[in-house]
């Protein structure tokens, strides 16, 4: 038996009769476009669909005393449930950040029964629902988990149910390797840009400045897009921590406070941090340039990922999540910079200027999706169906380019084979995108 697609025959693998759809990580506009179109595609072919509720949080608790209960841990998705859901806000199956693969950090550890236990438990939970394939939707951490779920199956006992895995990339940060733009990115950009425009009007009326911290943990796509569309005065992200804006500091043992020594070199380990004095000086230089142009106001956009580059004194006591990320909300980057910038501005000019720091981002994650994000999300949802049923894939990420042309990227092209870590896509310095942002913002003259 074969499936016809793109003018070629693709041999069928084991038949797929039931598919699970799971969403993990932070929300993104058009999430329901992905879920509903994927589910509708399978249902049209007589394939039943279950929606796993709240990411992996219930799957990792599965066991004799914690069976999967419909309505509590999963739902059956039918055509009635899908009515008019493509443009709806939120996530119809919920989400969570539980990471069943957090103890597996190398190929060898995939075979370790203690470290891979949460992954095997998640697979057993899916098998209890008689699932043949999983559509994973999420960010780079969820892609890592999807790859581990696929790979760990090689270490299951003979005769275990095999579950095929495909992944749909999701992040409003747009920092995904293998796809041009992620669904929800443009909706999030427009939502934040609208808030920046509001702040700009307020700043002009009150002769003040706002330092707006936006989402964008690893890269600056969201900060840059929102700054450009919102007509911000200046934007800075992790890609800008180079040259004079960068410094090195020793890595300290969290228990002893002593410098950590690299055993291979015998030298103290170091990490790249912000040269905070230079970054603050540059922001103040932009403010002074605006003042010379008769503009005593403005909005500076900072990507939240800059918090990871703060000197260690600013990060003491800040917790980390299952994926090793610091709790950025507890750092409050905007307010930290607002204080430093205000003090520096007064030192240099002798004048006071009100500078207010605030965080933007959560309000953009479940905004009503724009048409492009609904179209992109819908195509990626259909792509999950085509990858599994028409193309016979296992272990691929669904991608789209050009005029929403689908393609399928193998996990091994996206995940480091030695560390099982995904590769972040940064804004390339001096690329046309980067240069556009620099052209549109205040010219500092440096």
Provide DSSP, 89-128: SS-TT------TTTT--SGGGGG-TTTTHHHHHHHHHHHH
Domain check: are 103 and 57 in the same one? yes
Torsion of CA 250, 251, 254, 258, to 10 degrees: -50
Residues forming beta bridges with residue 358, ordered by sequence position: 212
Cα–Cα distance between 218 and 304 in angstroms, integer? 8
- The CATH number of the domain holding residue 124 is 3.40.50.450
Domain check: are 94 and 203 in the same one? no
Domain check: are 117 and 198 in the same one? no
pTM for this model (two decimals)? 0.90
Cα–Cα distance between 260 and 65 in angstroms, integer? 44
Domain check: are 234 and 345 in the same one? yes
Domain check: are 121 and 9 in the same one? yes
Is 338 within a domain?
yes
pLDDT given at position 13? 59
pLDDT given at position 258? 80
For 126-156, the DSSP string reads: HHHTT--EEEEEE-HHHHHHHHHHHHHGGGS
Domain check: are 221 and 314 in the same one? yes
Domain check: are 210 and 254 in the same one? yes
Domain check: are 95 and 195 in the same one? no
Q: What is the DSSP letter of 388?
A: I
Domain check: are 13 and 41 in the same one? yes
DSSP reduced 3-state for 155: helix
- The CATH number of the domain holding residue 435 is 3.40.50.460
Domain check: are 93 and 130 in the same one? yes
Domain coverage including residue 172: 2-181+369-413
Domain check: are 61 and 177 in the same one? yes
Q: What is the DSSP letter of 7?
A: T
- Number of domains forming the structure of the chain: 2
Give the mean pLDDT per block of 10 residues along the chain (446 residues). Answer: 36 80 96 98 98 98 96 97 95 96 95 96 98 97 96 93 97 94 97 97 97 91 97 96 93 78 86 94 97 96 93 77 67 89 96 94 93 98 98 97 96 93 92 95 84
pLDDT given at position 381? 98
Domain check: are 22 and 155 in the same one? yes
Is 152 within a domain?
yes
Is 262 within a domain?
yes
Is 445 within a domain?
no
Structure tokens at 121: 């438990």
pLDDT given at position 323? 58
Closest CA to 422 of 68, 61, 171: 171
pLDDT given at position 316? 75
Is 255 within a domain?
yes
CB atoms within 10 A of CB 294: 6
Contacts of 131 (CB under 8 A, 6+ apart): 18, 19, 20, 50, 163
Is 423 within a domain?
no
Cα–Cα distance between 400 and 382 in angstroms, integer? 11
Is 276 within a domain?
yes
Is 158 within a domain?
yes
């Amino acid at each position: 038996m074969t499936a016809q697609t793109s003018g070629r025959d693709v041999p069928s693998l084991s038949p797929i009769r039931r598919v699970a759809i799971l969403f993990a990580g932070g929300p993104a506009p058009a999430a329901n476009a992905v879920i509903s179109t994927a589910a509708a595609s399978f249902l049209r072919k007589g394939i039943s669909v279950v929606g796993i509720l709240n990411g992996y949080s219930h799957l990792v608790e599965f066991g004799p005393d914690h069976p999967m209960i419909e309505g509590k841990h999963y739902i059956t998705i039918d055509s009635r449930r899908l009515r008019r859901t493509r443009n709806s806000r939120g996530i119809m199956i919920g989400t969570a950040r539980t990471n069943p693969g957090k103890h597996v950090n190398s190929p060898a550890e995939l075979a370790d029964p203690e470290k891979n236990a949460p992954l095997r438990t998640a697979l057993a939970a899916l098998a209890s629902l008689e699932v043949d394939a999983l559509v994973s939707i999420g960010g780079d951490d969820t892609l890592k988990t999807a790859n581990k779920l696929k790979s760990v199956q090689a270490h299951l006992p003979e005769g275990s149910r095999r579950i095929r895995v495909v992944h749909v990339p999701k992040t409003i940060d747009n920092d995904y390797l293998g796809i041009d733009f992620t669904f929800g990115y443009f909706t999030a950009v427009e939502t934040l840009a609208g808030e920046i425009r509001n702040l700009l009007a307020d700043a002009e009326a009150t002769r003040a400045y706002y330092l707006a911290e936006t989402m964008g943990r690893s890269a600056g796509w969201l900060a840059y897009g929102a700054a450009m569309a919102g007509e911000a005065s200046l934007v800075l992200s992790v890609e800008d921590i180079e040259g004079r804006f960068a410094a090195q500091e020793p890595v300290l043992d969290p228990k002893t406070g002593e410098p950590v020594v690299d055993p291979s070199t015998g030298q103290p380990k170091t990490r790249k941090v912000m040269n905070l004095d230079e970054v603050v000086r540059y922001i103040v230089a932009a403010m002074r340039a605006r003042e010379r142009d008769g503009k005593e106001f403005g909005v500076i956009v900072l990507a939240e990922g800059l918090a990871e580059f703060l000197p260690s004194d600013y990060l003491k006591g800040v917790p980390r999540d299952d994926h090793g990320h610091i709790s950025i909300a507890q750092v409050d980057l905007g307010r930290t910079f607002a204080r430093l910038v205000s003090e520096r501005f007064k030192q240099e000019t002798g004048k006071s200027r009100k500078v207010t720091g605030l965080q933007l981002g959560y309000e953009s994650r479940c905004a009503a999706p724009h048409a492009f994000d609904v179209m992109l999300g819908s195509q990626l949802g259909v792509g999950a169906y085509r990858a599994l049923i028409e193309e016979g894939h296992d272990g691929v990420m669904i991608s789209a380019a050009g005029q929403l042309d689908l393609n399928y990227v193998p996990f091994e092209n996206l995940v480091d084979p030695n560390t099982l870590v995904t590769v972040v896509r940064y804004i390339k310095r001096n690329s046309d995108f980067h240069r556009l942002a620099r052209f549109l913002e205040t010219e500092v003259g440096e």
